[in-house]
Amino acid sequence: MKVILSRDVEKLGAAGDTIEVKSGYGRNYLFPRNLAVPATKANLNAIDTIRKQQELRDKKNRRAAEVVKDRIEKLSVSVEVLVGEEDKLFGSVTNAEIATLLKAEGVDVDKRAISIDPPIKALGMYTVPVQIAKDVVAELKVLVIKKS
């Protein structure tokens, strides 16, 4: 039996894929859970239209992410921190602090999109990756300086 997946199904396929499954699996598992629909001509045309609309949305979102990426890569933020002996930080610079600094610059980014690995625990200049979209990553320059 040919079916079109409505949602991503683990070990089976992604949403929009047309696959062949056993008829019992389709009738008893996929259809009742709204994971798939029968592969009729009308359903194939509907899925094709939905796929085209999704591609247009993805292109638009990618262009918007590229604009944000360019804006972030032109920025350089400074973090003032308290330091102890031998210029070692008390704690570390967090992704929440960097997100707050970016917001002050007019760029709103979720703190979970900023990955600091390894943690920043010393003064200096660092490059921090910021995940804007699924496949768009910006490199932000972060300067860690001593608080006076």
Find the radius of gyration of the CA atoms of the chain.
24
CATH class of the domain comprising 66-146? alpha beta
Q: What is the 3-state secondary structure (H, E, C) of 101-143?
A: HHHHCCCCCCHHHECCCCCEEECEEEEEEEEEECCEEEEEEEE
Contact between 2 and 39 under an 8 Å Cβ cutoff? The reply is: yes
Could you read off the pLDDT tens digit of each residue along the chain, which spans 148 residues? 999 998 899 999 988 889 999 999 999 999 999 999 999 999 989 888 888 998 999 999 999 999 999 999 999 999 999 888 887 888 889 999 999 999 999 999 999 999 998 889 889 999 999 999 888 999 999 999 988 7
Quote the longest CA-to-CA distance of the chain: 73
Residue 101 DSSP SS3: helix
Domain positions in the chain are 2-64, 66-146
pLDDT tens-digit map of 125-138: 999 999 998 889 99
Please give the pLDDT value at position 90. 85
What is the pTM for the complete model shown? 0.69
Are the beta carbons of 130 and 141 closer than 8 angstroms? no
What's domain 2-64's architecture?
A: 3-Layer(aba) Sandwich (3.40)
- What pLDDT digit, counting tens, does each position of 61-88 carry? 999 999 999 999 999 999 999 888 887 8
In percent, how much of the chain has pLDDT > 70?
A: 100
Give the pLDDT score at 83.
Answer: 87
